[in-house]
Amino acid sequence: MLGLPVTEAARRRFGETAALVAARQDERAAEERERLRRLLTPTGDERVLDVGTGAGALALALAPFVREVVGIDVVPELLAEGRRRAPANVELVEADAAALPFERASFDLVCTARTLHHLARPERVLAEMSRVLRPGGTMLVVDQLAPSDPLAAIELNAFERARDPSTTRVLADVDLRSLFDANGLVLRHAELVRERRDLERYLDLAACEGPERERARTLAPRDPSAEYGWYVLRKPSVPTG
């Protein structure tokens, strides 16, 4: 889930909650599988990379529609949960998203979901994702969105960091679009999805307990639901600029 070197505390956090993360993933698997099929219209012959795969949510959802999926993450416990569920055409490996161990242009589709807000340098990871994506290939980026209002965004990020210290910054739609532009990616489609969340369960998913849990409760927005952006991008066949 994290793509740059992480603290032991962050690794421990994701390790401790791996089973909960996988269970939550299983609950929304059918819905996300259908959304992926609709947004990406795969042909069945794609080689796919899922960056920050966690317990393999995207990798497993895409597996029925493509030839091969490789998922990478840095948390062994999450990868172990994913491997228990993975079909034969999914390989989950431990690797760093900031230095992907793959050749240039070696994937037809590169994805990342619910990962960028954990990264200190998301532009660096997007650049690596673009490097391993073939010209003309497709990239999918999914992440929680901050409000466009700066003060509301500050409040949301204060809550998210209190809940989960591994959060760096939840970006707004305009920030993500700027990152895509900076990496020469062409936006083909954007879809905003509001997810309903139970606050207490959301805190459980981050192993947020004790005084930290009380502080997070005081900072929680009145509406516990969250908005996620689903962005389908294309890497130009000919370099831009």
- For residue 46, the model assigns a pLDDT of 98
DSSP 188-240: EEEEEEEE---HHHHHHHTT--HHHHHHHHHH--SS--EEEEEEEEE--SS--
The 10s digit of each residue's pLDDT in 9-63 is: 455 555 556 565 655 666 666 788 899 999 999 999 999 999 999 889 899 999 9
Instruction: Please check whether residue 214 lies inside any domain of the structure.
Output: no
Both tokens of 25, joined, read: 């993933």
pLDDT, mean of residues 81-106: 95
Instruction: Please check whether residue 49 lies inside any domain of the structure.
Output: yes
- For residue 239, the model assigns a pLDDT of 60
Instruction: Please check whether residue 1 lies inside any domain of the structure.
Output: no
> What is the residue whose two structure tokens read 């998301």?
122
Instruction: Please check whether residue 216 lies inside any domain of the structure.
Output: no
Taking alpha carbons only, the member of 219, 200, 114, 118 closest to residue 162 is 219
Q: How many domains does the chain have?
A: 1
Contact 97, 4 (CB under 8 A): yes
- For residue 32, the model assigns a pLDDT of 84
pLDDT at 159 over 90: yes
Q: Is 126 helix (H, G, I), strand (E, B) or coil?
A: helix
Q: Assign 91 a pLDDT band (cuts: 50, 70, 90).
A: very high
The 10s digit of each residue's pLDDT in 215-228 is: 999 999 988 899 99
Q: Assign 4 a pLDDT band (cuts: 50, 70, 90).
A: very low
Contact 157, 146 (CB under 8 A): yes
CATH number at residue 95: 3.40.50.150
pTM, full prediction: 0.89
